Amino acid sequence: MTWWIPLRSLFRNRRRTLLSVAIIAFGTAISLFVFGFLEDSRLQIQATTVNEYGNLQIASSDLWEDTADGYDYLILPELEAEILALLAEHREITGVTSQLQFPGLIAAGRQTQVVRITAQIPSNKTLNIDDFVIDGRPLQSSDVAAVLMGRSLADRLGLGVDDVVTLTLTTVDGAYNATPLRIVGIYRFTAEQVELRSLFMPQAFAQVLLNTSGVDRIIVNLRSIADTDSATSSIQRQLDDAGLPLEVLTWYELSPFYQQLSGFFDILFGFLTLAVFILVFFIILQVLTLAFLERTREIGTIRALGATRGEVFSQLLVESVWLALFGSLTGVLLGFLMGTVFNAIGIEWRPPGTAEASILSVQINLMTVLPPFGVSIIATLLSAIFPAVQTSRLRVVDALRVE
């Protein structure tokens, strides 16, 4: 059958067709808007997580599973060199650094706070806290007894640049150690939890404090976040082949918060999709049933002229394809417009767990457009099947009798 006859038939009752298009468009637009918003939030959280963890981290399984006896999980310089040589083969890697993290207790006046010290190489720009320093200065390789503190913790303890705190820790040998530390800079990070818990210091000084030459993890940054899974499996395979007892974890495996939130967003979007599907399906079912019923005599004529049931069914289905396309495309345009206006307004919001407010925005790209577009198309087509089957199965003689 032709494509243009169903198109003409679709617009014979313009008011009804426009109503159908509006319903499909509304469902698509709302779905697109909410999905775009969730996707934008997910991307922001993704970026924050990667900023905090890097794309990949390589460490002993004992570290990840918390089964080490003391500092047994540390990667000593010989092993670190072996890993770095192995990573050098990967073109998708844009940066590699090592870190040494350990717990400690800081005291400032009468206040104490359990913290996590992250010791980094100041000259290495991979996953470097320098970009987040808002007061004072970044760390330098020559720094001794210097530390960067998060603004939230500094505010809580009433500290600022050049103030001194005392850090108490346990060395790799199990001995207690304590040292004064000067706050050389205050940093601001998107995740409030990081600001409250993490202090940063030069790696060389941290190794002296802990009495080790090792690090606890190698951090890898990738050219694209999309390379995460392929790079992980490739590096893990190489480590295994080399017989190194190490495990690669991805940024999303390292962040339970991201996984929970991502799962929650998926559920939210699932419910939204279901709601839009039900709305579009039942309303369009009603509209098309009525529209096809009104044309019973015409369908009878077409059948009398020699059209088979299949041909009548195809013609009615093509009508709904047009309807679905018009409605969904209008919905995409409407959703795009709503998103653009929303982004232009620039509403500020501070999500739970973040240190500062961010601008709410809606992502509108092919990946956010396709799911709502597809759902509306499928809902419309499915809603057309039942009335189209019913209408095409009418007995010709009965259909022709209908006034």
Rule CB under 8 A: which residues touch another protein? 1-2, 5, 8-9, 11-12, 297-298, 301-309, 311, 395-397, 400
Give the nearest distance from C-beta 290 to another protein in angstroms.
17
Min separation Cβ 400 and another protein, Å? 7
Q: How far is the CB of 324 from another protein (least distance, A)?
A: 19
**CA 251 – CA 185 distance, rounded (Å):** 27
Closest approach, Cβ 33 to another protein, in A, equals 35
Q: With respect to another protein, which residue has the nearer C-beta, 297 or 350?
A: 297
Neighbours of 157 (CB within 10 A): 19
Collapsing DSSP to helix, strand or coil, 192 comes out as helix
Following DSSP, what letter does each residue of 314-361 receive, concatenated? HHHHHHHHHHHHHHHHHHHHHHHHHHHHHHHH--EE--TTBSS-EE--
Asked if 200 and 147 touch (Cβ cutoff 8 Å), the reply is: yes
Nearer to another protein, 45 or 321 (CB): 321
CB of 157 within 8 A of CB of 111? yes
* 133 within 8 A of 141, measured Cβ to Cβ: no
DSSP label at residue 223: S
Least distance to another protein from the beta carbon of 319, Å?
A: 11
CB-nearer residue toward another protein: 1 or 208: 1
396 CB contacts (<8 Å, ≥6 apart)? Answer: 300, 303, 304
Output the smallest distance, CB 385 to another protein, in A: 20
Whichever of 350 and 395 has its CB closer to another protein, that residue is 395
CB closer to another protein, 116 vs 297 = 297
Q: Please, which residue, 17 or 328, has the CB nearer to another protein?
A: 17
